[in-house]
Amino acid sequence: MTDTSDNSLGTLEQADGRWRLRFVRELPHPPEQVWLAVTGQEGLRAWFPHLVTGAWQPGGELGFVDPEGRGPRFGGEVSLHRPPALLEFSWGEDVLRLEIAPRGDGCTLTFLDTFEELGKAARDAAGWHECLDLLAEHLDGRPASGRPGQRWAELNARYTAALGAEAAVLGPPPGWEPGAPQPPAPQVWPSLRARDARALIRFLVDAFGFEETVVHGDETHVHHAQLSWPPGGGIMLGLARPEDDPEDNWPLRPGTFGAYVVTDDPDALHARAVAAGAEITSGLHNTDYGSRDFAARDPEGNRWSFGTYRGEPRTAG
């Protein structure tokens, strides 16, 4: 069970004319495992409030975008990177620092957030508290106890009482308010046909990382399949029918499909695709609009472009 007792609360302190939140968590996991969870894409998706792009290296530029489109993309820069003990980087106007110290068979994680405006301390403390709870659940292999933001109101009340009214002037950013409507589940499904649907499914799973959600058919024919993309969305596909089939009311031709797929780690995905034998039609490159992309073609001839550009955030209304 997540510890929400008062002794698990973060503390507020002054640091060189700024304010700093400090959280200390004792974790029953070695530093190397915790380091992977706080820097690897799989771990970051489990606990960090934004999707992260960029390189974890001193001077590396970072990009942050909300996975549900709440607010614009913003940037940061890595200032310290000493695996598996120390990571410091700017997160917009804030500076985040993670210190990992060995402790017996586990470690002590100290998380610091340094910022200018006192009035947002309680708000941000509640958010980071929840994020660190999610990190602990991920490290333990436990299912997440809820969606990010679900316990914010409860924790914000505790931090307001602990830190004082002056630290609780600002409420949550737009879209993060308790009870704010969540973006709908995907309702647009790109669809394609294949000469050998089962072979294409295996390729898309092995080379690109799609997940096989459902496949309807028999040993030789796939009537309908759904492959999910782990960060969200997916595709549907099935076996192509003969071109002269009069009953085919969806006469898509194999090899004519194309899609742009968002990935948080194009370098790792590119390496995976190459290892699986994918034909790379455009190598890794940085675009003039801030995305890192590559493109490939599957054995059926369909074209796939992968990159970090997530499109423009939806506007309210």
Kindly state the percentage of the chain with pLDDT values over 90.
64
Would you kindly state where each structural domain of the chain is located, as residue ranges? Answer: 8-168, 191-307
When mean pLDDT is compared across 75-84, 127-136, 261-270, the lowest value belongs to 261-270
- Residue written as token pair 């993060």: 176
pLDDT in tens, 282-310: 999 998 888 899 999 999 999 999 998 88
Mean pLDDT over the full length of the chain? 89
Residue 189 amino acid letter: W
Q: How many CA atoms lie within 13 A of 38 on its CB side?
A: 29
Is the pLDDT reported for residue 1 higher than 50?
Answer: no
Q: Please, what CATH class does the domain formed by 8-168 belong to?
A: alpha beta
pLDDT in tens, 233-286: 899 999 998 877 777 777 889 999 999 999 988 998 999 999 999 999 999 999
The CATH number fitting domain 191-307, selected from 3.20.20.70, 3.40.50.300, 3.30.420.10, 3.10.180.10: 3.10.180.10
pLDDT value for 315: 61
pLDDT in tens, 186-203: 678 899 999 999 999 999
Please enumerate in sequence order all residues whose Cβ is within 8 A of that of 44, keeping only pairs 6 or more positions apart, or say none. 38, 51, 52, 264
Residue 207 amino acid letter: A
Q: Is the dihedral of CA 10, 12, 15, 17 positive or negative?
A: positive
Q: Are 43 and 34 in contact (CB under 8 A)?
A: no
Which residue did the predictor score with more confidence, 286 or 70?
A: 286
